[in-house]
Structure 1
Amino acid sequence: MDDPSQRLLRRLLRRIPAGNLKTTLEKWGRLTAAQWRTIDFTQTKSSIVQMLAFCAENEFTMKHITELEMMYVIDNPNKGMWYAFQLIDPEADSQSLELTQFKEQFKSHLCELVRNVSVKIKKHTDEAVWIRIAWGDSYSRPNHLKPTYIVHHLQTPYVFVTGLSPKQRPLVSQALVLSSRYHAIKAANLSGRNLTAIRDLLMKQYQQVFPTRFPSPLSERNQSVSNPQIEREHAGHKENRLQMASETFGDGMLPQLQSSVYKLETKFRDRANQTMTEREEPFKCVVKFASTNLLESLKLCVSSGIASTPVTPLLSSIPLKGRNYFVITDNGPAPSSQMPLSQN
C-alpha cells in the first residue's frame, strides 16, 4: 500500500466514531476472518494501528480505501455543506437514461476535461447515484484527501454537491449536463448540512397540506383543551393560524433545514437619518435565520401567533420554492414609502 493510500486510510479511520468503526468495517468486508478476530475495538488507537498493518499486509490499493470512505460518507452524509443544483431544458430521452449509460458518459466527459482525475460511481439503495471525484491537474496526481461528492437521482433534475471549488464547478456542470441529457444546469439556491432535508424540501418529499375551506381534519387533531371558555373565545383565530401554518410549511415530520439567508440590496429608508436615506447606491446587508429545524420553528411561530398571518412571502417561499437563499431588491420607481420588495 503506497503512502497516499496510507494517509487517506489513517485520516478516514480517525473520522469514523469509535462506536461505528466495527460496523463500518464489517460492511466493508475486506479483512480476513483471522485479522478480524485480532482487532481490539475497545482501544481506538490500537485498532487504527492494526488496520494500517492489515491493509498493508493485504496490499490494498487506493481503490479499496476510497471504497471504504465512500461507504462511510453515504451512511453519514451530514458532515459537510451540501449545495443543490437543478438541471434544466431536458432532451426528449432524458427520462430513459440508465445507470450504465450515465456512468460511462460522465467519466468519459470529465476525463476529457481534466487529465488527472479519479471518478468512482456507486448506486445507493434509495436509487441515488453517488459520485466521488478526486481532482488532479496536468502536473499532479488526484488528491484523494479533498474529494468532491455528488448525489444525483437519475429520473429527477436535481443534483446535490459538496466539496466543490469554484474552479471545478464548470467542469462538473458540463459533465453532468452532457451525461444526463439536459442542456443547462443552475444553482437551486438551497444549501445545508442535512442532505436528506434539502433533498426532501426540493423534491417535495414531505407531508404537505393544501388550502381548504374545510379545516375540520386539522381541528380534530388539535382538540386538547386546557380552558374550554378561552378555547371557545379564540377558536376561530387559533384554527386559522394552525391551518395557515400547515398549509405554508407542511405537516408531520418536516425537513430539518438549518438556515435561510436573505441578502438585502434595497434603498435605506429612515426619516431620522437623511444621510443614509439620500444615498443613491442600495443599502446592502445579509439577514440569516438559523435553527436546528427552521421550518418547524417558523411553523410554530405562525401557529402560536408570534408571527402574523397571512405568512409573508419571505418565509413562505422557503418550502414553496425549495430555496433558502434569497436576494431582495427594490422593485420599480414607486415612492419610497410605498416601494414594494421583490425576491429574485
Structure 2
Amino acid sequence: MDESTKRLLQRLIRRIPTQMLRTTLDKWGRLTGGQLHSMDFTQSKWALTEKLLAICEENELAVKHITELEMIYIIDNPNQGMWYAFQLMDPEDDAHSVELTQFKEQFKSHLRELIRHVSVKIKKHTDEAVWIRIAWGDTFSRPNHMKPTYVVHSLQTPYVFVTSLTSKQKPLLSQALVLSTRYQAIKDANLSGRKLTAIRDLLMRQYHQVFPTRYPTPLAENNPAVSNQHIEKEQAESAANRLQAACEAFGGGMLPQLQSAVYKLETKFRDHSNKTMTEREEPFRCVVKFASTNLLESLRHCASSGIASTPVTPLLSSIPLKGKNYFVITDNGPGPSSQMRQPQK
C-alpha cells in the first residue's frame, strides 16, 4: 500500500463509529474470518487502525479495495453531508429502457472523454438505487480520493441526488448523466438537505399525503369532562378543521425530515414612512431561512395547534406541493429559483 492509500484508510476508519466497524468490515469481505477474529474491537480507534493497516498490507489491498469499504459505509450511512437534488429533463424514447450494465459503461465512457484522470465506481443498492463514487483529477493530477463526489440515481426515475460537488465538476457530471440516461437536459430541483431519504421521499412523493375533504373527522377528546357541550363541540370542530388544513398542506403521518427552507426575496420595499427605500427602482433583496430538525412536522404542528393561521400560506405549503425548499419571491408571488445554485465546495 502506498502512502496515499494508507491515509485514505486511516481517515475512513476514523469516520466509522467503533460499534459499526465490525459489521462494516464483515460486509466488505476483504478480510478472512481469522483476520477479522484477531481484531479486538474494544481497543482504541488508533490501535484498531494500526491493526487493520497491517492486515490490508498483508493482503496487498489497493486503493480500489479501500474505496469499496468507503462505499459500503456511505450507502449504509448516507447522512454525511449536504445532498442536492437534480431533475433530468426531456427523455428520449428509449430513456426508460436503460439498464444498469448499459448505464455503467456509458457513464464511465462519457465522463472519461470529458476529463482525463477520473476514478468511477458504481454499485447498485438493494433498493434499486444506483450509487456512483467519483474521485476527480484533472489533466495533470491523479484522482483525489480524499474528496469524492457521491451520486444516487434510480434508473426508472428522472431524479438525481448529489453530494460534495464543486462548480467546476458540475457541468462534467451533468453532461455524463444526460448522455448515459438518454435525457436531453438536467436542472436544479431547488431541494437540498442533510438527510438523503428525506429529500428523496419529498421529491418522489413517498410519504402520506392528505387530500381536501368537506367532512373532516373530529379529533379524539382528551378531556371528556367539559361542562359546556356547545363549547366542546365548537372547539372540537375548530381543532379538526385546523388539523385537516395542516395535513392537507404538509401531509399526514410521518413526514420527510427536511431541515430547512430558504426564501430569497426580490420585491419592492413598501413603507410610506420611508420614501428613500420605497422609491428605489431596484428591488429589496434579503434571504429568509426556516430551520428545524424536522421542518415539515414543525410547520404542521404550528398550523394544527393554532400558532399559525389556516389555510396555510402558499409560501409554506409550496415546500411539499412543489418538492422544493429553495424559492425566489418576487412581486408576482412565490416561485422556484430561475437560477442554478452553486453547490458547496
What is the TM-score with the length of structure 1 in the denominator? 0.94
SS of match in other structure, 2:146: strand
What is the identity percentage for the equivalent residue pairs of Structure 1 and Structure 2?
73
Q: Which residue of 1 aligns with 2:335?
A: 343
After TM superposition, the structure 1 stretch with the greater mean CA deviation from structure 2, 16-25 or 124-133, is: 16-25
One-letter code of the match for 1:42? T
SS of match in other structure, 2:143: strand
SS of match in other structure, 2:145: strand
> Are the equivalent residues in 2 in contact too, given 1:225–1:231 (CA < 8 A)?
no
Q: Which residue of 2 aligns with 1:150?
A: 151
Q: Are residue 41 (structure 1) and residue 36 (structure 2) matched?
A: no
Q: RMSD of the TM alignment (CA)? A: 1.1
C-alpha distance after superposition, 1:31-88 (max 9, x if no partner): 1222222211111221111001111111101110000000000000001000000001
Q: Which residue of 2 aligns with 1:91?
A: 92
SS of match in other structure, 2:213: coil
Q: Which residue of 2 aligns with 1:301?
A: 302
User: Matched residues in 1 for 2:232 and 2:29: separation?
Assistant: 60
- Measure how far apart 1:343 and its partner are: 2.1
> Are the equivalent residues in 1 in contact too, given 2:327–2:334 (CA < 8 A)?
no
- Measure how far apart 1:342 and its partner are: 3.6
Q: Which residue of 1 aligns with 2:320?
A: 319
Q: Are residue 262 (structure 1) and residue 263 (structure 2) matched?
A: yes
> Are the equivalent residues in 2 in contact too, given 1:133–1:148 (CA < 8 A)?
yes
Listed as ranges, the gaps of 5+ residues in structure 2 are: 337-345
- Measure how far apart 1:29 and its partner are: 1.6
- Measure how far apart 1:231 and its partner are: 2.8
Q: Which residue of 2 aligns with 1:206?
A: 207
Q: Which residue of 1 aligns with 2:273?
A: 272
SS of match in other structure, 1:125: coil
User: Matched residues in 2 for 1:22 and 1:267: separation?
Assistant: 59
SS of match in other structure, 1:178: helix
User: Matched residues in 1 for 2:235 and 2:220: separation?
Assistant: 13
User: Matched residues in 1 for 2:97 and 2:148: separation?
Assistant: 29
User: Matched residues in 2 for 1:153 and 1:36: separation?
Assistant: 34
One-letter code of the match for 1:188? A
User: Matched residues in 2 for 1:90 and 1:61: separation?
Assistant: 39
- Measure how far apart 1:277 and its partner are: 1.4
- Measure how far apart 1:315 and its partner are: 0.3
Q: Which residue of 1 aligns with 2:118?
A: 117
- Measure how far apart 1:134 and its partner are: 0.2
The number of aligned residues is: 331
SS of match in other structure, 1:142: coil
Q: Are residue 223 (structure 1) and residue 220 (structure 2) matched?
A: yes
- Measure how far apart 1:236 and its partner are: 2.4
After TM superposition, the structure 1 stretch with the greater mean CA deviation from structure 2, 197-206 or 18-27, is: 18-27
> Are the equivalent residues in 2 in contact too, given 1:177–1:184 (CA < 8 A)?
yes
> Are the equivalent residues in 1 in contact too, given 2:89–2:184 (CA < 8 A)?
yes
SS of match in other structure, 2:46: helix
- Measure how far apart 1:213 and its partner are: 1.9
> Are the equivalent residues in 1 in contact too, given 2:134–2:150 (CA < 8 A)?
yes
SS of match in other structure, 1:188: strand
User: Matched residues in 2 for 1:293 and 1:112: separation?
Assistant: 42
Q: Which residue of 1 aligns with 2:250?
A: 249
User: Matched residues in 1 for 2:304 and 2:216: separation?
Assistant: 14
SS of match in other structure, 1:197: helix
C-alpha distance after superposition, 1:225-273 (max 9, x if no partner): 3254443122222111111111111111100000000000111112222
SS of match in other structure, 1:71: helix
Listed as ranges, the gaps of 5+ residues in structure 1 are: 332-340
> Are the equivalent residues in 2 in contact too, given 1:135–1:142 (CA < 8 A)?
yes
User: Matched residues in 1 for 2:331 and 2:233: separation?
Assistant: 43
One-letter code of the match for 2:205? K
User: Matched residues in 1 for 2:146 and 2:281: separation?
Assistant: 48
Q: Which residue of 2 aligns with 1:173?
A: 174
What is the TM-score with the length of structure 2 in the denominator? 0.94
User: Matched residues in 2 for 1:301 and 1:10: separation?
Assistant: 46
- Measure how far apart 1:97 and its partner are: 1.1
- Measure how far apart 1:224 and its partner are: 2.8
- Measure how far apart 1:318 and its partner are: 0.2
> Are the equivalent residues in 1 in contact too, given 2:117–2:138 (CA < 8 A)?
yes
User: Matched residues in 1 for 2:125 and 2:90: separation?
Assistant: 26
C-alpha distance after superposition, 1:275-307 (max 9, x if no partner): 211211111110000000000000001101111
> Are the equivalent residues in 2 in contact too, given 1:190–1:324 (CA < 8 A)?
yes
Q: Which residue of 2 aligns with 1:2?
A: 2
- Measure how far apart 1:157 and its partner are: 0.2
One-letter code of the match for 2:93? A
One-letter code of the match for 2:306? G
> Are the equivalent residues in 2 in contact too, given 1:189–1:326 (CA < 8 A)?
yes
Q: Which residue of 2 aligns with 1:338?
A: none
User: Matched residues in 2 for 1:39 and 1:66: separation?
Assistant: 21
User: Matched residues in 2 for 1:236 and 1:152: separation?
Assistant: 45
SS of match in other structure, 2:316: helix
> Are the equivalent residues in 1 in contact too, given 2:315–2:334 (CA < 8 A)?
no
